[in-house]
Structure 1
């Protein structure tokens, strides 16, 4: 995966972690030029359509969370590489360690450290629960700690999605089962109090340095969560404050109803304990209640004697009274039972199963809910690339949950795709538009090339959609690009033996261009007559090709005829460059390699605007010219007369 680019945006740099469900990589976001963490689902989940559907839904819900103690989710996507779908989540990159790594390093935490970390984790859960999101997999492995000590809870959404599938990776199950609530171990209904239990186990491990239950297999550990009582932390270390122990033991009650009612109540006790240095009196905690007790009847002797005398006096008439009392009770109870049978429909509210509303238009969702006696309320609206406008993106109450008739399901609906303004690409070079489109969250569409006598080669002539129109994110922009003037194939005419003017007229007639005229002595041809041309007659060439002509200046003084191209003669020519770089300016340097020597023959700064730059050079025919942009080697060319 290293070097792979997902979504045309995220370049994977290195692997930084992994678990039973996913692998985690560090990546570079090319659009925003920042590092991110990408969690890529393992291959075995790619074929589980139900899991993928649930994963997308829960991840989108988790992306709505915004809290300093929760890792931000930036993006959720799918890409195809080599025919294989890759499902991924893009998250905030945290430079730090997991809480599990820190526990292993330190052994156990101080009271202050335990309370500080617990408060931060609880505040993250409080925010999630207020938004109807239950984590379901709170454990030290899913809690990051930054270098400055800030807690960041991760894996919201992915944990909930996992509940729909069986995780078969043994090591991962062992890693999670130490923190499972009893209801999770039984496969029962989980809610916010399941997160409270798991946080209690994490607190227990931080203050004691170990988890409460160990076993040879996940089943063994799970059974202990269900059946065995946790050893109080003070029996392991009697220096642990009683107030902190009370908080932990209340979090890890077997029954959900016996735990803290909400994370907010837990937070209140943690903060009180922090202020009191861990010595919070038991009567000050939220969970202290008078235990249910059986109180024996206490009677004195006088009372007993009075009862005995009354019993003797009333023994004769008591049978009649008892008989009538029983008869009356039977009549009353029978009447009540009959009345209850008749009225139970009015006093007992019927339970219904919450339907799956995701993907439905809001009007249709309300109709489906009303059929079951439920209500639908729009909690918020979000942009979505997956759902059309007014379709349900997410529902706060999970489908399949049993609720009472009249219950209101809160949903988020789509505002459609986010609209962005199309940039003006006309008159720009085709090689520089990638970054412009990415910055606008758009992509390149169909590119067509046309000849143009007025627009230089590679310059954009037109675009669709038009500049400054508003379109959805991800829209493809179709482009028409200039190929320059239309070029035709012609046969190179013979110009040797013609006068200079005749040769020039012939070049014009054939649609060719004159590069340069070199005048040299020649004993065979009279002055003003062409005695050499740069392209041999009969060759097929494109129109507008530049031709160099050698014209005789008359016989040489010594009567010797020089060769048209002497190897030791430096011949001038023009190099044409069209620099394509991201900066507005570029330093162009050209180094000539000739006769075993290197020499800088050109070094200037030019503006980058898509236009061509003509650079006059000269050198021997066997010279090589190296081209550098901003000190970086780009290419090399040989002398065009070689």
Structure 2
């Protein structure tokens, strides 16, 4: 698999970590949880082999049952395009085999520390009645903090799965194989303890106890030869520590530790001064003097390596004829042929019985997870019970493709081989995922629309001019903020500001004040007035404007008009001219949702009334909109000794007034 490929839309392959006989292992990155993981992918040439697939699935089943700090955790199991895969914890470090090679000799305390972690993990597996059957340094990872983690439960098996030996089948690595496995016997917890003893031997000596040209010759040594003394290689090793190796690797399972916890307890005190001078462990006499007989499968294997003297030792009983058989004359010569037929017939009969019994034991204990996706929870429960499975935890999950209250998926997935009465978890649909609508007023329309469309919304736009909201910003939304909706079924319309509308000013000279105010209202302009004497322009008419005719302004801009007071007279000298500054506060509360006249705007409409020589409180002096606190300057022209007045109205409410405005 190439780097960069994303498995199941989630695990992006980074690089290859290693290749095995059954699967290849890759470093990958979990895009959802943002962490590195190991992905074990069944080799393409084996994906159609049912036995390999079953073994691969058994590894997933065995590992997922075990949660321990010293066991590599399995996160996910799946299949894509016919490829079976496991997603596991990524351990950054090396395996114990390489660790021994690069760090030997390893201090005894460190050896015990690592072994205690391994023993703790195996003890956990044994408590779940799971035998690893392939314990070896290559299947033990050591991270940078010297934490050991056991991996590869590919040939692990639960004790309840079988009770017969797999004829002519030897599982596990031969250098760490127990004698009973070498004979083709059934692996037990004591078989794992034997392998643990060999691992301890290798950590203490840097090598395995038995070497040979073929796997068969090494297996025979496990069966026939005593484990070499670790003290012969390193005399500094305490006898108590060697005794742990000797007891764990005893030929007879009954002479080994009763369980892994006992081995751990013995190892823990092996360097204690109180155990100095301990005598060498010696296993009990085996078989009470009975003759050992290798099974036919072992004899056939031994014959392949052309060692006739070892073959002769395989069946001592057949070589030792009773003396009375030699005295039977010619009848003696007929016995060997007859015995061969009897032995051959017996072997065939036993094999057939073993096969029939094995099928009878294995087949009923395994079952297949049925496909219940899309079914109601009740129907799914019935099908699982019919398949001799139990319903585990019920999880609720949103789904846009599966109807409410129906099964989205199961864990383990459909088609997986499980032991009868195993638990299967169900994920039940709660319907499409709902989205809580946010308040997008004031947000950019472009980015908001893109985000919502990516979620599945249908987005519409309505454009309006606004003097208070910048162009491109959202003024209103059709779906209320806080409402939970299904994106795929929801249309939302945004009212978007295009900014202020531009106005080309008309010629307002010689217009009356009322005409000018009407023009300003129609074009949303704010007027400001000045006054001057003029003998050419009638009183109350516009003398001049600023900006002038033809100027382009925006809605809401100010236009200043100078109005005529008429010809200047002698009485003009008795007139006082002054100005007053008034601060107008902005009120955000005046734009409540129930005020339809505002259309979602955040503006205040301000109207100012003046009373002086040129104005009356019955007519608007100035009209404007504000979006913040604003200060205005009000000009007054009053006869000497007289006073003026003003009134400020905000959104129809008088907020300020003064009926006695005089020159200071």
TM-score normalised according to structure 2 size? 0.48
CA radius of gyration, larger in: 2
TM-score normalised according to structure 1 size? 0.49
